[in-house]
């Protein structure tokens, strides 16, 4: 009888030891492969060999985060700053650059730039992709991404979407919650011998933040005299979007990629207590078409060609009380871009990628009023940009790797 407490203690120790042994990391945990990234040098590389400080947000991390919007994902990136301007206009900065105009942060989707230089912004709420379409996000932290242009001096965000063959079947998800959260997403696709495709349809909406106040921009403006803060708790956001992707691979060397998307977005903007900018709806439509062709050449090198067209339009109508008049503002922008790239292994220890691209942007804006004291005004801007780039990876020894890259870019801005 006296041995029973000792036996129980030994049994408990043995069981706990087995449990600890089960939970302890084994050898395989230390030798798992690191994520492979593409954005750092335009060459596929393990994350440990990338020549930049990078963060990869994979599909597992996206699901575990529970976030509803793409900008919120960047809260997971060291040094990233995520905030909202007027409640429903998100902006993302790096290392103390909290500015709604992210002039130095390049944002790509499958290599397609969605940052609009003439507008100096990325309208995150109008991107025609859903969270479920994303395979992973590669974030370059810092100015070392030489081949992505002058706009990438603070970093590069490259959103890589799932391939057309990654969806086989149909799924529907519904999310409803407080503050008007009402999301419905339907996705379906099919893998074939020569053709894969996937389609995403989504309706996403919420009522924004509650009791959101801000200091007025100009205390000397008669519209703001006597007003301590402005309230814009009416910051609802509603999006209806479509995303389609198809991959056609007729043989072992050619692959044709077609992507298109459309997003119709409506935001509540303005200020509750403002006489010149009252609460009203801001309408925005964005769409894109992307065509890609990739060929494996006889020397095991790869040649790729990509063309994309982007369209972004927004307009708003409101009645001012300071000087009673109906105001209509509109902005229309379009972009056409083409890029060619060649990836070749010069030797078993040396890889080179080089290419060139051309981009043409157009922006037209118009301000009109029914009041005779404010006649209609319009302006337009166009810009053309071309660039060449190259990056070389040379493995001198198994533990010594040299990456060398460069880019030359020239642009022209014209008013009309």
The predicted model scores a pTM of 0.82
Under a CB-based contact definition with an 8 Å cutoff, are residues 155 and 141 in contact?
A: yes
Instruction: Flag whether pLDDT at 332 surpasses 70.
Output: yes
Angle 291-294-299 from CA coordinates, rounded to 5°? 165
Angstrom CA distances, 393 to 29, 139, 241, stand at 28, 20, 40
Cα distance between residue 129 and residue 146, in whole Å: 27
Mean pLDDT value of segment 339-354: 94
Angstrom CA distances, 89 to 69, 100, 121, 237, stand at 12, 8, 10, 9
Partners of 94 in beta bridges? 80
pLDDT in tens, 45-104: 888 888 888 899 999 999 999 899 999 999 999 988 888 877 778 888 887 666 677 777
Angstrom CA distances, 273 to 207, 221, 258, 268, stand at 19, 13, 47, 14
Quick one: tokens of 198? 């996937």
> Domains, the chain, ranges and CATH?
34-415 (2.170.130.10)
Cα distance between residue 92 and residue 81, in whole Å: 6
CA-based nearest residue to 117, from 338, 309, 361, 330: 361
Cα distance between residue 386 and residue 414, in whole Å: 15
Instruction: State percent of the chain over pLDDT 70.
Output: 79
Cα distance between residue 410 and residue 127, in whole Å: 27
Q: Which helix (H) or strand (E) holds 64?
A: helix 59-65
Work out the mean pLDDT of the chain and round it to a whole number. Answer: 82
E strands, 100-223, are 105-109, 112-113, 134-141, 155-161, 169-176, 182-190, 195-206, 213-214
Confidence (pLDDT) at 240: 96
State the CB neighbour count (10 A cutoff) for residue 372.
Answer: 7
């Amino acid at each position: 009888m006296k041995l029973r407490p000792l036996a129980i203690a030994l049994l408990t120790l043995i069981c706990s030891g087995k449990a600890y042994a089960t939970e302890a990391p084994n050898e395989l945990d230390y030798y798992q492969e690191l994520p492979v990234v593409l954005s750092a040098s335009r060459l596929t590389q393990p994350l440990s060999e990338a020549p930049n400080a990078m963060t990869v947000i994979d599909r597992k991390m996206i699901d575990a985060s529970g976030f509803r919007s793409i900008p919120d994902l960047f809260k997971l990136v060291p040094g990233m700053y995520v905030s909202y301007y007027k409640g429903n206009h998100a902006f993302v900065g790096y290392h103390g650059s909290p500015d709604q105009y992210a002039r130095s942060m390049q944002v790509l989707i499958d290599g397609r730039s969605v940052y609009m230089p003439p507008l100096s912004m990325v309208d995150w709420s109008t991107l025609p992709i859903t969270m479920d379409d994303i395979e992973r996000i590669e974030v370059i932290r810092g100015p070392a991404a030489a081949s992505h242009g002058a706009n990438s001096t603070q970093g590069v965000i490259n959103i890589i979407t799932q391939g057309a063959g990654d969806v086989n079947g149909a799924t529907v998800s519904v999310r409803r919650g407080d503050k008007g959260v009402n999301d419905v997403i339907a996705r379906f696709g099919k893998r074939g011998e020569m053709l894969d495709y996937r389609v995403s349809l989504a309706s996403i909406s919420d009522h924004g933040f509650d009791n959101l106040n801000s200091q007025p921009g100009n205390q000397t403006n008669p519209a703001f005299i006597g007003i301590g803060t402005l309230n814009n708790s009416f910051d609802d956001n509603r999006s209806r979007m479509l995303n389609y992707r198809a991959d056609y691979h007729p043989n072992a060397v050619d692959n044709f990629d077609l992507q298109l998307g459309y997003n119709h977005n409506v935001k509540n903007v303005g200020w509750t207590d403002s006489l010149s900018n009252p609460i009203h709806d801001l309408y925005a439509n964005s769409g894109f078409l992307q065509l890609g062709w990739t060929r494996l050449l006889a020397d095991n090198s790869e040649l790729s060609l990509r063309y994309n067209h982007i369209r972004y339009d927004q307009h708003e109508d409101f009645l001012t009380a300071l000087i009673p008049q109906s105001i209509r503002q509109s902005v229309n922008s379009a972009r056409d871009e083409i890029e060619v790239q060649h990836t070749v292994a010069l030797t078993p220890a040396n890889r080179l990628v080089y290419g060139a691209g051309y981009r043409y942007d157009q922006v037209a804006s118009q301000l009109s009023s029914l009041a005779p004291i404010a006649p209609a005004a319009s302006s337009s801007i166009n810009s053309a940009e071309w660039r060449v780039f190259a990056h070389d990876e040379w493995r001198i020894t198994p533990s010594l790797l040299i990456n060398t890259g460069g880019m030359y870019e020239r642009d022209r801005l014209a008013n009309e």
